[in-house]
């Protein structure tokens, strides 16, 4: 039997730094658990632009379509901000999502006990929190046409279009209902049906899919602005939240702060099953390239490490090993190890990115 294949795209800024720690974990599973992966690496984002003049080379795109899973670090940075839209680093990531048709972006926000004091919200609001945001990832205002900056008389006009088809809404709704059945059996759908036609259709289609296929799951609807407020007021009321591409982007960054740091939030972007039954999949931290701390060994690698745990669970059916890796992270945090983004306690010296990765490996060692 051949090993499962992984394509690693470290990207820019802290992307390569956090990915180096994930490499240690992958190696650990190969040597200590006899679960070897065939790993290849390539460029994405600014790094790809510097070499090829494009943020995603066609060959890299083709490789991403063939492997069992893609792991991505982060893309972007100040150096590339003035570039034309068509070649910005972020376009490389958007192309991967679109061409792999990764419509369901799972962004879990879990508050580890050891970090319950680190949220900007009160401890009892976040302690024990475990919610899942399902963000539609391949449509909506990120991709709708027309778009662009045009001239109207003497003025420039910036245009983006929110557009959703019924089938696009229905498939991401199904992903959310399926996940809910394995968790707390509750879905809250968020849109702005009070002001947007696409929101009216979103609410209708989610309701139809619910009635026809998932009547056993509890469904509620919320306007996304009220949802943002509720997420800060009492986030534990939620189990699974399903929402569109843009609202999901905003709500998941907000949810990150419930867990203590953006450096803690992993994600899985899943598409339809491939011939081998595995879903098309890309795993990446929710955070970006963090130019303000890049190159200083300060980045928290946990979001990227937990993204690999999601790969074990969702691509390779290794749920028990994913649990093992998550427990190792939890142990390291319980032992008081903190990267600089998680400081706040008196007398705690931060560990570096590399030391955090090593500590997770040591906790994995202790687990067998």
Among residues 249, 271, 311, 361, the one that binds ligand IPM under rule CB under 6 A:
249
Q: DSSP labels for 108-174?
A: EEE--GGGTTTSSS-HHHHTT-EEEEEEE-SSGGGTEEEEEEEEETTEEEEEEE----HHHHHHHHH
Q: Which of 88, 192, 298, 337 is catalytic?
A: 192
Q: Is 263 in the site for ligand NAD (CB under 6 A)?
A: yes
Q: Which of 244, 249, 298, 341 is catalytic?
A: 249
Interacting residues with ligand NAD between 56 and 75 (CB under 6 A): 74-75
Residue number with CB closer to ligand NAD (199 or 263) = 263
Q: Which two tokens stand for residue 234?
A: 């009492």
Least distance in angstroms from the C-beta of 301 to ligand NAD: 7
Cα–Cα distances (Å) from 312 to 3, 102, 307, 324, 354, in that order, read 13, 17, 9, 10, 22
CA angle, residues 326, 249, 64, in degrees to nearest 5 = 65
Residue number with CB closer to ligand NAD (203 or 287) = 287
Q: Which of 38, 58, 225, 317 is catalytic?
A: 225
Among residues 21, 136, 249, 341, the one that binds Mn ion under rule CB under 5 A:
249
12 is catalytic: no
Stretch near ligand IPM under the rule CB under 6 A, chosen from 86-94, 181-189, 224-232, 312-320: 86-94
Q: Is 94 in the site for ligand IPM (CB under 6 A)?
A: yes
49 is catalytic: no
Question: Nearest to residue 3, comparing CAs of 41, 39, 40, 37?
Answer: 37
142 is catalytic: yes
Asked if residue 60 lies in contact with residue 1, where contact means CB atoms within 8 angstroms, the answer is no
Asked if residue 349 lies in contact with residue 122, where contact means CB atoms within 8 angstroms, the answer is no
Q: Is 76 in the site for ligand NAD (CB under 6 A)?
A: yes
Q: Which of 42, 49, 68, 142 is catalytic?
A: 142
Question: Could you give the residue numbers annotated as active site?
Answer: 142, 192, 225, 249, 253
């Amino acid at each position: 039997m051949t090993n499962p294949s992984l394509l690693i795209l470290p990207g820019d800024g802290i992307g390569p730094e956090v990915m180096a720690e994930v490499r240690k974990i992958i190696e650990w599973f190969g040597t200590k658990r006899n679960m070897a992966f065939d790993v290849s690496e390539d460029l994405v984002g600014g790094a790809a632009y510097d070499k090829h003049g494009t943020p995603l080379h066609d060959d890299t795109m083709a490789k991403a379509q063939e492997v069992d899973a893609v792991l991505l670090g982060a893309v972007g940075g100040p150096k590339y901000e003035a570039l034309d839209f068509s070649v910005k680093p972020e376009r490389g990531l958007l192309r991967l999502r679109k061409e792999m048709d990764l419509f369901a972006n799972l962004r879990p926000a879990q508050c580890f006990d050891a970090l319950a004091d680190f949220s900007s919200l009160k401890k009892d609001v976040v302690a024990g929190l475990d919610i899942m945001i399902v963000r539609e990832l391949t449509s909506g205002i990120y991709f709708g046409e027309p778009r662009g900056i045009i001239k109207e008389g003497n003025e420039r006009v910036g245009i983006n279009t929110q557009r959703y088809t019924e089938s696009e809404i229905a498939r991401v709704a199904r992903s959310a209902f399926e996940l809910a059945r394995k968790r707390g059996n509750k879905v809250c759908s968020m849109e702005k049906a009070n002001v947007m036609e696409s929101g009216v259709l979103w609410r209708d289609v989610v309701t139809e899919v619910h009635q026809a296929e998932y009547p056993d799951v509890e469904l509620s609807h919320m306007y996304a602005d009220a949802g943002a407020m509720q997420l800060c007021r009492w986030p534990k009321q939620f189990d699974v939240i399903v929402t569109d591409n843009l609202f999901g982007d905003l709500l998941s960054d907000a949810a990150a702060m419930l867990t203590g740091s953006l450096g803690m939030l992993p994600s899985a972007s899943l598409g339809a099953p491939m011939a081998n039954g595995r879903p098309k999949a890309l795993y990446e931290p929710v955070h970006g390239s963090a130019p303000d701390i890049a190159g200083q060994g300060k980045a928290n690698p946990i979001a990227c490490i937990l993204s690999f745990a999601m790969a074990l669970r969702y691509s390779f059916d290794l749920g028990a090993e994913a649990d093992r890796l998550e427990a190792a992270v939890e142990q390291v945090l319980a032992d008081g190890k903190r990267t600089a983004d998680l400081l706040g306690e008196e007398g705690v010296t931060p560990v570096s990115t590399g030391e955090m990765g090593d500590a997770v490996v040591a906790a994995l060692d202790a687990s067998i």
